[in-house]
Chains A and B, each alone.
Chain A
Amino acid sequence: MTSYRFAVSVMPKAGILDPQGRAVEGSLGQLGLHGVRDVRVGRHVELSVEASSEAAARAVVERLSGALLANPLIEAWSVEMLDPGVAPVAVAAAE
């Protein structure tokens, strides 16, 4: 068995109103930034799967993405395999 690490990106489907994205976009003017449009806010999940092959691991991730991480009625997801040498995204230390 090998450990495979994946990143799953979950986004509101096109056409689904995303009030979070709209709120973020609405505050960009306060930063003095202009010309930024179509802000959408989603979710990023990283996880490791023990499996006999990459295909088997990917199948597990697809299944749990559709059944739990995303609600297929309102959200779309994409799965990306991460370099096994890459550690989970570290939280930047607050200064």
Chain B
Amino acid sequence: MKAGIVVFPGSNCDRDALHAARLAGMEAELLWHEDPGLHGSELVILPGGFAYGDYLRAGALARFSPVMRAIEDHAERGGLVLGICNGFQVLAEAGLVPGALLRNTSLRFEHRWVRLSVERHDTPFTAAVPAGATLRLPIAHGEGCYFLPEPELDALHARGGILFRYADPEGNPNGSARDIAGVLNQRGNVCGLMPHPERASEAVLGSDDGLLLFRSLLESAAAHASGVAA
């Protein structure tokens, strides 16, 4: 599987994501945001950071980068897209996943390890996560409070669009509606989450739970390829 990791001005988790993707066994390269091509990427990762300095609103300006048109087309064709932290904010601003990320209710930049529950295992992002397992991943964000109007939250839940929830007993770290940490688009091929799986891809980092997401994507691509071949 070939992964492309987008580099916006201000991205700072692009190389971590590149490392984690390669560690999981993917072929991976960086994609410059001004280049409108995806260079054959089957998976596009929008990494964490502060694209365009988070000016105006986090993700608001990155959304208009030339590469985003190609990513929208890729998603439209059913291609896989993963947005991590700032990448999730970009996806939300672009309307590729539902909702918006507001300032944390604490008004602080929250950075800590969190436990995540995985709400579905039948997605390309979570297929390799053992049933019942929680994931230990770090968060590091100032705007991670997930918002969607109540009726739309019900609809999101009903269609299985909530993929990850904060599961620590002390509650969620940013005030997110319904403890939401990550969501899926309607079609199930675009995922955004605030925690950082790429920063938890080796035991030496404190956890390698994040690698399960990259492995899931790799395995689902392999299954898809064999299905196509058959």
Contacts and interface: CB of A to CB of B under 8 A. Distances in A.
Interface string B127-159: 000000000000000000101110000000000
A52 B56 CA distance: 28
A89 to B, nearest CB: 18
A68 interface: yes
Contacts, number: 30
Nearest to A73: B100
B147 A74 contact: yes
A17 B57 CA distance: 16
Interface string A5-37: 000000000001101100100000000000000
Interface residues of A, number: 10
Interface string B88-99: 000001000001
Interface string B47-59: 0000000001100
Interface string A54-86: 000000000000001101011000000000000
Interface in B82-115: 93, 99-100, 102-107
A68 B107 CA distance: 23
B147 A16 contact: yes
B175 interface: yes
B60 interface: yes
Contact of B100 (A20, A23, A68, A71): A71
B2 to A, nearest CB: 32
B102 A17 contact: yes
20 contacts: A16-B102, A16-B147, A17-B102, A19-B105, A19-B106, A19-B107, A20-B107, A23-B107, A68-B56, A68-B64, A69-B56, A71-B57, A71-B93, A71-B100, A73-B100, A73-B147, A73-B148, A73-B149, A74-B100, A74-B102
Interface of A: 16-17, 19-20, 23, 68-69, 71, 73-74
